[in-house]
Amino acid sequence: MKLSNQTSTTRRKFFETAGKMAAVSALANVAIPAVHPAGSDLIQVALIGCGGRGGGAAANALSVKRGPIKLVAMADLFPERLDKTLNDLQLKFSGQVDVPQDRKFLGFDAYKQAMDCLKPGDVAIFATPPAFRWVHFTYAIQKGLNVFMEKPVTVDGPTSKRMFSLAQESSARNLKVGVGLMSRHSRPLQELATRVHDGQIGQIILQRGYRMHGPVGYFSSLPKPPGISDLLYQVQRFHSFIWASGGCFNDFYIHIIDHLGWMKNQWPVKAQALGGRHYRVSPEGVTYVDQNFDTYSVEYTYSDGTKFFFDGRTIAGCEQIYTSTLHGTKGTGIASKHGDCGQPSSLYKGEMTVANMIWESKVSPGEEDPYLNEWNDLIDAIRDDKPYNEVKRGVEASIVSNMGRMAAHTGKEITFDQMLNCEHEMALGVDKFTNDSSAPLIADASGRYPVPQPGIVTAREY
């Protein structure tokens, strides 16, 4: 693949033909039952992926305004993780958790068993690493289930195309699908977007985003210990491996990338970037084997030439900056004051000072938590039978994250179209994985996995 010359499929042409692609997909002839009837009573939920974010999503689901809603099945690869999350949820939501032993499922096919416990119109939560997203979504559509899927949605070009087609399938069957880009459900950011799109700070001419802090999650990994397979180790420590999660870049940075694209009301068309692995030895002197860079700096460009600069750093002991800002022809704005969508948002007639402030967001009681808002919005759509499908936008945000990551990892400018059409599918056969399968990444004799080499490996990321 020659990234610099690949122009065979533009985004516009792809989206125009997406419906045709859906029509010939494997699901085209599957009869889908009607979705959950408007105003009906109990909505059942199955949780697929029982880590921290999965447990958080399940707790949000059980906290919605318009119940009744009940968790009835759970699936994971790791029994201790499933049991811990189940115990935590039972303590807080004892009357809404009904997951007996025979509805606790383990293994790579556990997602099917969990969804088989639901009826059409119920909700499946996907909180596994995104490499499995298209596999689980395909089965949910076959079962006529509504879905809440965590971000990111995809990590490479082939699965992005697959998910675009599945988005068409699910919409055609009137299924409701939420994507865990909760910034879109932050009430301050929603009002900010309205004000910015109405021109209150003029035309946006610059955006800046920062997420810089110490190591979190599974950002770095030491060599695989005994007693666990390469595949299970890579799934367990998914932030460390690009095939599983898009690495720290996608999982950590996608929220700011998403909401700044929303404020601009378009997606960047290209990215150039730099980054590096600076501190790759543990305090004990053992070399880390993950694929992440410690620093990333991306210059995104929109079609009108506007720049969006994003800086990410995951190094302990450095200045911590975690915010996003807007610069317009008539003023400036703070989208997120701290975090992925930290309140309040604000607008200024010039420099970002109290004296120049022209608006600051306020939130109605009960609307403060965007994680809960996104669930209330999804359940409202299910109960009121309103069109609701966030998958296409979730895939687009993932592609923009992917192209920033690939630009840093290859040292090349990467366009949206090049990222979408990149032929490197990082986890071939993920739909057929078993506990005995080989991992998508194979370690060398020292236990190290392939890492990006900018300027050396340029047609793919490793």
The tens digit of pLDDT for each residue in 192-222 reads 999 999 999 999 999 999 999 999 999 999 9
Question: What is the structure's pLDDT at 12?
Answer: 47
- Percent of the chain scored above 90 by pLDDT? 90
Q: Is the predicted pLDDT of residue 19 greater than 50, yes or no?
A: no
36-73 pLDDT tens trace = 544 459 999 999 999 999 999 999 999 999 999 999 99
The pLDDT of residue 27: 52
Q: In this predicted structure, what is the pLDDT of residue 415?
A: 98
Radius of gyration of the chain (CA): 22
**How high is the pLDDT of residue 39?**
47
DSSP label of 56: H
Given a cut of 80, whether residue 405 has pLDDT beyond it is: yes
- Please report which confidence band the pLDDT of residue 349 belongs to, taking 50, 70 and 90 as the band edges: very high
pLDDT grade, residue 16 (50/70/90)? Answer: very low
Sheet containing 177-179: order of strands: 104-106, 69-76, 43-48, 123-126, 146-149, 177-179
Phi-psi group of 14: left, alpha or beta (phi > 0 → left; psi -120 to 50 → alpha; rest → beta):
alpha
Spatial CA neighbour of 258 closest among 315, 156, 180:
180
Assess whether pLDDT exceeds 90 at residue 235. Answer: yes
Domain with CATH 3.40.50.720 in the chain: 3-183+371-389
pLDDT in tens, 435-460: 999 999 999 998 999 999 999 999 99
User: Is 6 a residue whose pLDDT tops 50?
Assistant: no
Residue 302 has pLDDT above 70, yes or no: yes
pTM (2 d.p.): 0.92
Domain 186-368+400-432 maps to which CATH number in 3.30.360.10, 3.40.50.920, 3.40.710.10, 3.30.420.40?
A: 3.30.360.10
Q: Under a CB-based contact definition with an 8 Å cutoff, are residues 50 and 85 in contact?
A: yes
Q: CATH 3.30.360.10 region(s) of the chain? A: 186-368+400-432
Distance of CA 350 to the CA centre of its chain: 34
Closest CA to 303 of 11, 1, 104, 73: 11
Render pLDDT for 135-147 as a digit per residue (tens, 0 to 9): 999 999 999 999 9
Does 22 have pLDDT greater than 50?
Answer: no
Q: What is the mean pLDDT of residues 343-370?
A: 96
pLDDT at 40: 55
Q: How are beta strands 69-76 and 146-149 bridged, if at all?
A: unpaired
Answer positive or negative: Cα dihedral of 128, 129, 130, 131: negative
User: Residue 381 and residue 375: Cα distance in Å, rounded?
Assistant: 10
pLDDT score recorded for residue 36:
52
- Is it the case that residue 21 has pLDDT exceeding 70? no
Q: What is the CATH T-level fold of the domain 3-183+371-389, as seen in this structure?
A: Rossmann fold (3.40.50)
Position 24 scores a pLDDT of: 41
- Our CA angle for 81, 84, 85, nearest 5°, is 85
164 pLDDT above the threshold of 60 = yes
pLDDT for res 259: 98
**303-347 pLDDT tens trace:** 999 999 999 999 999 999 999 999 999 999 999 999 999 999 999
Pairing state between β 104-106 and 69-76: parallel
The DSSP annotation for 302-368 comes to -TTS-EEEEEEEE-TTSPPEEEEEEEESS-EEEEESSSSSPSPPEEESSSSSGGGEEEE----TT--
Is-cis flag, bond preceding 344, omega within 30?
Answer: yes
Residue 32 has what pLDDT? 46
**Pseudo-torsion of CA 184, 159, 28, 7, nearest 10°?**
100
